[in-house]
Structures are given as structure tokens and as C-alpha cells.
Amino acid sequence: MLPATILIVDDNKSVLLSLELLLEKEFGRIETVSRPDRILSAIGRHKVDLVLLDMNFSAGVNSGNEGLYWLQRIREVEPGLPVVMLTAYGDVDLAVKSLKRGAADFVLKPWDNENLIGKIKSALRDRRMPALPVGGGAASGSPAMVIGHSPAMMNVVNMVAKVAKTDANILIYGENGTGKEMLAREIHRLSLRSHRAMMNVDMGAVSEALFESELFGHEKGAFTDARECRTGKFEAADGSTLFLDELGNLSLPMQAKLLVALQNREISRLGSNRKIKVDIRLISATNRNLREMVGQSLFREDLFYRINTIEIEIPPLRRRREDITLFAEYFLKKYAVMYRRPGMTIHPQALKKLEEHDWPGNIRELQYTVEKAVILADKSIIRASDITLHPGGMSVSAGATSLAEVERQTIMAAITRHDGNLTAAAAQLGVSRQTLYNKLKRFNL
């Protein structure tokens, strides 16, 4: 049981009673009010940790404006208090509007008990941890991703709100660094399967020889070095979401095996004839044009239509420049804490320089650029001269090489900043002295 106080606000007393009986088994204290004008006094009186707020109170009214009004009042009084909205109408635009105005999540009536409890627990965790930006990493159940406020991303939010609670297969398109995996995790977080961890596989890192073992598992002795049984990602994702990243890298034989598993919804471990039924929700992602690959006979047409019931494209950062400042300020706060540089700010001219860059490496490139600026800035304000941009941007397609070079430069900058003092440099980088030694050896520094 979590030691948290939940305030439920609904004008239907049957709903209040049902929710109280459900939630009192999971949380330390449950408070209920049937009139929204009592919300603020209840929050002050009971030290509430989360509000479960209905969107409509007046008879015959289903616009949701009452719920949005009280959401705003709650945020004025307690900006950090998570609010989960309840609505019986499933209005997508209304749900998106509530999220844009600061709601932690929304739940449709009639609710699924496990899903509702999972969303409340997730929102409570979010209160203790800052939200992660697109392009970062997060475990299932992690805080919601930072979306941005550009029209292009609002279209993505609209689509996610429509499809998250279905089991439709989703194909996410986007350039490297736009945050495809993070969006997949957000869809899973909002889904009815969020009580179980999402499984993910980087298909670009799976060799043809290990493909079946990785996805379907194997029995002991199935091949050389198979010293024990292994559960594959399909089996591990049973009842949850399976995310296949960089799907365009699959060879045709690998595509054929994947198609059979998806069609039959069953797999067999290597070395076994036993069929194992699997219930998965598939989300795939790629930075390649699969339609063109189908036309070039590089990707199976039947597999293409199997995986993309719904297509979502994440626009590159250059098509949503309104979001650049939001992400820059997020990364500034993150790395100011990491590198122990409190009070760091960024000059308007520096922000203008960031906004005018095309960002071929997208949010990932922006992240490393801000990190480097935080390390190298001589003062507590990052000026335009502290921002290092390359005309061609970061070569994200170079993969680990580019990331390794960024890491090498960051290490060198920290060592230079501390005049060769490795202990101080390691402390700034947030690693142990031994880890720093290992990295110096790796980069031949």
C-alpha cells in the first residue's frame, strides 16, 4: 500500500463510493467530495498527493469546461499536484486539452480497475521525478515525455490519444534522434497494458544468426553455447507491448519469420516444437521509407500492412522550432545539476542561435550541444559564443562513432576545466575515478 492521500471529486455518489472501495486497498488515505467548490479547502486540509477529478458536474453538461476550470484552479494553488481527469464521454480533443493544461493523465468511464490504479501510481511517481524529454530513455511506467507545444507535435498528441488504448499495431516514422522509442513508451504508458513492462528490441543490432533466439527464445542445447533455456522477447512481452526499433534493417528471411509469428500470434523456441501463444501489442519504428522499400522488393508488402494499422510520424526538430527553447531549457536544468553548476541560465542570443540551427541530429544533437555548453561556459550564463554548432550538424547516422566522439570531447573538456585533476573531473562528470580511467584508456587519452 502506498502512503498517499487521494482526493476523488465527482458529483455521482455511486462513483465516489466505488472508487473509494477500489482505491482504499492501494493507497493510505482516500478523501471524497461531491462538489467542486470544496476541492481547494480539501487540498489544504488533507495534504493531498493526487486529485482524481471528474470533468463534468452540472446535469446535462458534457463540455468538460467545468473540469478544465477546476484543473486550472488546482494548478494555481498547488502547481505540482498531479490531477487525473475522469470523463464518461471519451472526447479525444477534450482529453488532449486537459493534458495540455497540465493534467497528469485521463481515464475514461467506465474505467478498468488495473488501468486506473496504474495511472494513479504512475502520476504519483511522476511527481517525484521530472519528466523526460523525447529522445531520452525511460523504463515502463516512467514519467510522461516532454512533448513540446508546436502544432506539429499536437497532431501527434491527438493521434496518440486516439490509439493508445487500442491494441492496433503502430508504425512510428521519424529521423534519428527524434524520439521514436520514447514515443513508443508513452503510447504504452497510456495503454491498457501499462501495468506490465514494455519489451523493446533494436533490430539493427540483432544479427540474422541470433534473430530467432532473441525474439522467440531457445531451449537448452538448441545450438552451440545454448547452455540454458532462454525466453524470447515475444514471450516476455505476453500481455504487454513489444517495440521493434529500426525495423527497416531486417533482411527478407528475418521478415518472413516475423510475419509468421505476427499472423499466428504464436511462437516456438529454437529446439522445440511446442507452440506458445502470445498476446502482444506491436509498436514498430524506422527512419527508412518502408513504402519505397516495398516497391524495391526490399521489404515484404504483407508484413508492411501487418505492422502499420496506424502510422505516426514524429516531425524533425527543424519543423517545430517552437519547441527548441523548451528542450534547451530542460537540458540546461538537467546538466546544471549533473555538473554541479547551479543557477545556470541561457542568454536570449544563445537561444536565438539554437532556434536558427537546422538540427539534422534532432533532439539528440540539441541535448549534446547544451551539455557541452554547460561544461565549457566560463560564467553562469550560456552566451551565443558558448554554443558550438557544426554546419552539417552531428552525423547521427554514424551511430556510436558520433556519440563516442561527443563523450570523448566532454571528458576532455572536464579534465581541461579542472587543470588535469582527474578526481575533480570524475566528480563533475558524475562517474567514479576508475570509470574515468577506463574511458581514458578506451579513447587513448
Buried b (16+ CB within 10 A) or exposed e, 147-182: bbebebbeebbebbbebbbeeebbbbbbbbbbbbbb
pLDDT at 297 (0 to 100):
95
What is the grid cell recorded at 405?
A: 566522439
List the Cα angle 35/38/40 in 5-degree steps.
Answer: 135
CA dist 435 and 413 (Å) reads: 16
Does 2-128 carry CATH code 3.40.50.2300? yes
User: What is the pLDDT tens value at each position of the chain, 445 positions in all?
Assistant: 788 899 999 988 889 999 999 999 999 999 999 988 889 888 878 889 999 999 888 665 566 788 888 898 888 888 788 999 887 755 556 666 777 778 888 888 888 898 899 889 888 876 654 343 443 333 333 445 666 778 888 888 888 888 998 999 999 999 988 889 889 998 998 898 988 889 988 888 788 888 988 899 888 877 777 778 888 899 999 999 999 999 998 999 999 999 999 999 999 988 888 999 999 999 999 999 999 999 999 999 999 999 999 999 999 999 999 889 888 988 898 888 888 888 899 999 999 999 999 998 898 889 889 999 998 888 899 999 999 886 544 333 333 334 566 667 778 777 766 667 777 777 667 666 667 777 777 776 7
CATH homologous superfamily of domain 145-313? P-loop containing nucleotide triphosphate hydrolases (3.40.50.300)
Q: CB within 8 A of 46, min separation 6: which ones? A: 5, 7, 29, 31
Buried b (16+ CB within 10 A) or exposed e, 261-275: bbeeeebbbbeeeee
CA dist 195 and 140 (Å) reads: 9
**SS3 of residue 238 by DSSP:** coil
Does 318-442 carry CATH code 1.10.3720.10? no
Q: Give residue-wise pLDDT tens across range 246-277.
A: 999 899 999 999 999 999 999 998 888 899 99
| Largest Cα span, the chain | 72
pLDDT at 404 (0 to 100):
62
Contact by Cβ (8 Å): 134, 178: yes
Of 106, 90, 86, 73, the residue nearest 10 (C-alpha): 86
H helices of 29-146, in order, are 39-46, 65-77, 92-100, 113-128
CA dist 173 and 246 (Å) reads: 10
Indicate where the chain has its CATH 3.40.50.2300 domain(s): 2-128
Contact by Cβ (8 Å): 169, 192: no
pLDDT at 141 (0 to 100):
37
CA dist 300 and 302 (Å) reads: 6
Residues in the chain: 445
Indicate where the chain has its CATH 3.40.50.300 domain(s): 145-313
**What is the C-alpha R_g of the chain?**
24
